[in-house]
Copies of this chain bind each other. A is one copy, B any other.
Amino acid sequence: MEAIAIVTILALLQFVWISVQVGGMRGKLKIAAPAISGHPEFERMFRVQQNTMEQLVVFIPALWMFGYFVKPLWGAGLGVVFIIGRFIYRAEYLKDPGSRSPGFMITFLPTAVMLIWVLVALVWMQF
The residues of A with any CB-CB pair to B shorter than 8 Å are: 2, 5-6, 8-10, 12-13, 15-16, 19, 32-36, 40, 43-44, 46-47, 49, 53-54, 56-58, 60-62, 65, 69, 93, 97-98, 100, 112, 115, 118-119, 122-123, 125-126
Contact = CB atoms under 8 A, between A and B. Distances in A.
Copies per complex of this chain = 3
A19 B85 CA distance: 18
A125 B6 CA distance: 12
B16 A112 contact: yes
12 contacts: A2-B126, A5-B122, A8-B61, A12-B62, A15-B58, A16-B112, A19-B54, A33-B97, A33-B98, A34-B47, A36-B47, A53-B53
A53 B60 contact: no
**Which 6 A-B residue pairs are closest in the complex by CB-CB distance?**
A34-B47, A33-B97, A34-B43, A9-B119, A12-B58, A34-B44
Contacts of A58: 12, 15-16
